[in-house]
Amino acid sequence: MQYRQLGKTGLRISEIGFGTGNTAGLMLRASPEERVRAVERALELGINYFDTSPDYGKEAAERNLGQALREVGARPVITTKIEILPEHLDDIAGAVVQSIDASLKRLGVDYVDVVEIHNSPAFKHTPDIPWGWMALSLEDYLGRKGALEGLENARTAGKVGFFGFGAPMESPNRAKLDGVPKYRKLMRELMDIPVVRALFATGKFDLVNVEYNLINPTAGMPRPRGMDIDMDYGDIISLASSYSVGIAIFSPLAKGALTEATIAGIGHHPLARGTDNATLLAAQASALRFLSRPGEQTLSEATYRFNLMHSGVTTLIGGFSGIEHLEEAAGVSGSNGLTHQEMARVEMVWKANFGLPREMD
């Protein structure tokens, strides 16, 4: 296992992180014995970074992770998160402290290494969005009784080491809710790069969670010409690097689409949860099947190599449904990135929009 410096924190964390989210399901729907075995195996493989949230499994992920770590007798680097709801807007700082206290109790620890605000930064807060997390404005983050004040209070109390925030999650099929143009306009408002830059400029934030994969690479580069994409992350990884801010990649396999099972038309793992845009993601993944070479490289391994070849990426958070998944991911650490020939073909697929009709407005 290779390790990378987390921004300016002094922490060195494994290139492969252990995710506990809803989609993969290992830390939510596996038996207690399976969870302990998975955590033990992750630690044996050198994984020292564990990512969780009270939102995952309605607080179950934190409880299950804490229990497994206690049984194993390990204390790795732990990141958890905070979701700010509309009813918290009058005292975001207070809500932050309360959420951290509850997370510590569920995890069974005295402090966490990193706490992230799950709500993405935007030019205005958006409490009326019917999915995902409400976006927060710069004032919500930095103003009186704002998120940063709460984080600082928790750090002063010795409960938190470092701070971060999350970028919004892309969901193309959500466009069918209220019409494509309206949806896409709203998605473009959900993460405002000047607001992100202002947060970086405070020097207070050391980690950002963002989606980055072969289906949506815009967190690490300008949007490829010809690619039809709803959520453009504006090359945020390069921006973060310029401020010495670390990047943790979520959904490296695009919600499980960039896998051998998907391109073979096999159903998802029994512990995994399906996604509402699975058909579209499967079609996009199928256009990249040339990266899969039996006996040499799986599509998942190729995807991990793509993620890790970006120097601005600190860790990718694997969503594991079984021990074999974390072993596959760990095996990629320290390997070479995609070849020039592979990247040339990938770029052709992007320019052709995965062979799908374009709907850009």
Distance of alpha carbon 316 from alpha carbon 210, whole angstroms: 10
Residue 321 confidence (pLDDT) = 84
What is the pTM assigned to this prediction?
0.91
pLDDT tens for residues 22-32?
A: 877 888 888 99
Residue 178 confidence (pLDDT) = 45
Q: Is the pLDDT of residue 160 over 70?
A: yes
Residue 59: pLDDT band (50, 70, 90) is very high
Distance of alpha carbon 277 from alpha carbon 291, whole angstroms: 22
In the structure encoding, which two tokens stand for residue 265, read together? 């038309």
Residue ranges of domains in the chain, CATH in brackets: 3-355 (3.20.20.100)
125: number of CA atoms within 13 Å, CB side?
21
pLDDT tens for residues 211-224?
A: 999 999 999 999 99
Q: In this structure, what is the dihedral angle of CA atoms 297, 14, 213, 321, given to the nearest 10 degrees?
A: 70
127-165 residues labelled b (16+ CB within 10 A) or e (exposed)? eebeebbbbbbbebbbeebbbbbbbebbbeeebbbbbbb
Q: What is the DSSP letter of 310?
A: S
| Alpha helices per DSSP H over the chain | 26-29, 32-44, 60-72, 92-107, 138-142, 147-156, 180-189, 193-201, 236-242, 260-263, 278-286, 299-308, 323-332, 340-351
Residue 255: pLDDT band (50, 70, 90) is confident
Residues present in the chain in total: 361
How much of the chain exceeds pLDDT 70, in percent?
88
Look at the block and give the residue holding tokens 């190729």: 302
Q: Is the distance from CB of 161 to CB of 9 less than 8 angstroms?
A: yes
Residue 275 confidence (pLDDT) = 67
- How confident is the model over 67-85, as a mean pLDDT? 95
Q: Is the pLDDT of residue 176 over 50?
A: no
Q: Is the pLDDT of residue 174 over 50?
A: no
The rounded mean pLDDT for the chain is 88
Least confident of 115-129, 134-148, 194-208: 115-129
pLDDT tens for residues 31-50?
A: 999 999 999 999 999 999 99
Residue 121: pLDDT band (50, 70, 90) is confident
Residue 128 confidence (pLDDT) = 53
Q: Is the pLDDT of residue 177 over 50?
A: no
Q: Is the pLDDT of residue 134 over 90?
A: no
Q: What is the DSSP letter of 332?
A: H
Residue 180 confidence (pLDDT) = 43
How much of the chain exceeds pLDDT 90, in percent?
68
